[in-house]
C-alpha cells in the first residue's frame, strides 16, 4: 500500500529538483515508490483541474449574482422614478383642476315636480384627435340639449357618456396620420369641454351624469397589440377621475359597465366594443353571467342611432339602443361597413308605465 505521507514528502523533494537517488537515500524509498509516485502525481493534477473548475464555477456564480443585483437595482430605480413621476403628475393634475375649476359649483336641487317620464341624452364616440376646432361640437351638442330642456320644461336629465371620447393613438398605423396631439393632451382638452358642458346644463336642470370606464379607442395599446389586451388600462378612467375632482358635487357614477335603474327599468350601459358579432347574444350572455334581468341596453361604438327590438315583456319591449356619434370624421369602421351618420346626441324618453316612448337624434 502506498504511504501518502511518503508520497507527499517525495513530491515536495521532487518539486525542489532533488534527484531520485538522493530521495531514496533520504526517505528510504525504492523504485516501487518511484512508480507509485507517478500515479500519485497524476492524481494531484486531476485534483488541481477539479479545483480550477470549481473556482471557475464559483466566479461564474458571483458574476451572475452581480448581474442579477444590477438588474434588480435598475428595476427598483425605475419603479421609484415612476412612482415619483406619478405622484408629481397626480399632484399637478389636482392642483390644476382645483385652480381651473374652483369657481365651478353644481348644486343639486330636488325635483319637486313629479314626472313619470325620464329623459336620457347620450353622447358617444367624439374621437377627439387634438384638433381644437372640433371641440365646438361639444358646445353645439350642449345647445341642442338645452333646446329640448326648454322645449319640454325639464327639471332633471340623465347625461350618459358612452366612451371613445378621444381617438387615441395606439390602434393602427394608418390612424397616426390624423393625430394632432398625444393621448394625454387629448384627454385634457376633451375633459375640459365636457366639464363646461355639464356646468352649463346644470344651470337649467339637475344633471345625473353616467359614464363608462372602458372603450376601445381610449385603451392604452401598443401598435400591433390586440384589442382588449389591456382592457383595464383605459384613459376613460382618467377622464372620469378628472370630472370627479373638478365637480365633486355632481351626481355621477361610472364603471366599465353599469346596470342603472331608470324609471323602474334596468339599463345595461357600456361602450359596446366587447359585443362582437351578435350583440343580442352578448346581452343574453351578460344577463346570465351577471345574474341581471336587462330591460334596455345602451351602447355606443357603432356611430349611428338604432333601436333593435329584442322581445316583448308585456307592457313594453326590451330593446337594444345604439347611440349616434359626435365624431365629425368618417371612421374606418364606417367605411368598412358602408354606413355613416351625422354627428348627433341621442335622446331617449322612458315612461314608467310604457318604457321607451320617444327616440330622437339631435343633429349638432
Q: What gap in Å lies between CA 187 and CA 89, rounded to an integer?
A: 14
How much is the pLDDT for 91?
Answer: 63
pLDDT (0 to 100) of residue 75: 76
Q: Which residues of 162-190 are buried (b: 16+ CB within 10 A; e: fewer)?
A: bbbbbbbbbbeeebeeebebebeebbbbb
Report d(CA 364, CA 361) in Å as an integer. Answer: 9
Q: C-alpha cell of 276?
A: 362582437
Of 219, 130, 215, residue with least CA distance to 172: 219
Predicted pLDDT of residue 223:
47
pLDDT at 302: 87
The residues of the chain scoring below 50 in pLDDT are 1, 171-174, 176-177, 222-223, 228-231
According to the model, what pLDDT value does residue 42 have?
A: 73
User: Can you give the residue ranges of every domain in the chain?
Assistant: 1-100, 115-363
Distance CA 35, CA 122 (A): 101
Interval 74-131: pLDDT, tens: 777 776 766 665 566 556 556 656 666 666 667 666 665 667 999 999 999 998 888 8
User: What are the phi and psi torsion angles at 96 (to 5°)?
Assistant: -65, -40
Highest CATH level, class, for 115-363: alpha beta
Q: Whole-prediction pTM value?
A: 0.70
Average pLDDT, the chain: 81
Amino acid at each position: 500500500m502506498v504511504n501518502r505521507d511518503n508520497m507527499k514528502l517525495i513530491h515536495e523533494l521532487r518539486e525542489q529538483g532533488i534527484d531520485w537517488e538522493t530521495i531514496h537515500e533520504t526517505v528510504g524509498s525504492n523504485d516501487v515508490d518511484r512508480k507509485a509516485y507517478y500515479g500519485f502525481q497524476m492524481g494531484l493534477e486531476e485534483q488541481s483541474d477539479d479545483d480550477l473548475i470549481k473556482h471557475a464555477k464559483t466566479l461564474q456564480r458571483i458574476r451572475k449574482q452581480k448581474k442579477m443585483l444590477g438588474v434588480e437595482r435598475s428595476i427598483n430605480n425605475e419603479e421609484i422614478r415612476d412612482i415619483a413621476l406619478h405622484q408629481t403628475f397626480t399632484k399637478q393634475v389636482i392642483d390644476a383642476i382645483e385652480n381651473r375649476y374652483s369657481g365651478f359649483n353644481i348644486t343639486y336641487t330636488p325635483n319637486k315636480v313629479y314626472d313619470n317620464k325620464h329623459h336620457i341624452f347620450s353622447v358617444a364616440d367624439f374621437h377627439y384627435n387634438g384638433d381644437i376646432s372640433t371641440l365646438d361640437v361639444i358646445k353645439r351638442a350642449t345647445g341642442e340639449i338645452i333646446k329640448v330642456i326648454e322645449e319640454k320644461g325639464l327639471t332633471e336629465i340623465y347625461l350618459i357618456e358612452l366612451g371613445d371620447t378621444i381617438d387615441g393613438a395606439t390602434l393602427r398605423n394608418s390612424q397616426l396620420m390624423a393625430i394632432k396631439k398625444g393621448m394625454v393632451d387629448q384627454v385634457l382638452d376633451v375633459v375640459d369641454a365636457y366639464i363646461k358642458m355639464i356646468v352649463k346644463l346644470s344651470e337649467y336642470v339637475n344633471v345625473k351624469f353616467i359614464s363608462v370606464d372602458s372603450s376601445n379607442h381610449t385603451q392604452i395599446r401598443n401598435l400591433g397589440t390586440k384589442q382588449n389586451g389591456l382592457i383595464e388600462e383605459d384613459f376613460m378612467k382618467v377622464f372620469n377621475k378628472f370630472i370627479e375632482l373638478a365637480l365633486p358635487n355632481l351626481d355621477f357614477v361610472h364603471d366599465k359597465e353599469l346596470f342603472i335603474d331608470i324609471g323602474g327599468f334596468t339599463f345595461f350601459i357600456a361602450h359596446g366594443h366587447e359585443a362582437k358579432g351578435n350583440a343580442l347574444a352578448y346581452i343574453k350572455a351578460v344577463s346570465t353571467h351577471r345574474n341581471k334581468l336587462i330591460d334596455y341596453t345602451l351602447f355606443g361604438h357603432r356611430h349611428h342611432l338604432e333601436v333593435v327590438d329584442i322581445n316583448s315583456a308585456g307592457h313594453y319591449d326590451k330593446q337594444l339602443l345604439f347611440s349616434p356619434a359626435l365624431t365629425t370624421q368618417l371612421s374606418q369602421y364606417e367605411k368598412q361597413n358602408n354606413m355613416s351618420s351625422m354627428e348627433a346626441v341621442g335622446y331617449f324618453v322612458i315612461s314608467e308605465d310604457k318604457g321607451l316612448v320617444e327616440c330622437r337624434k339631435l343633429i349638432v
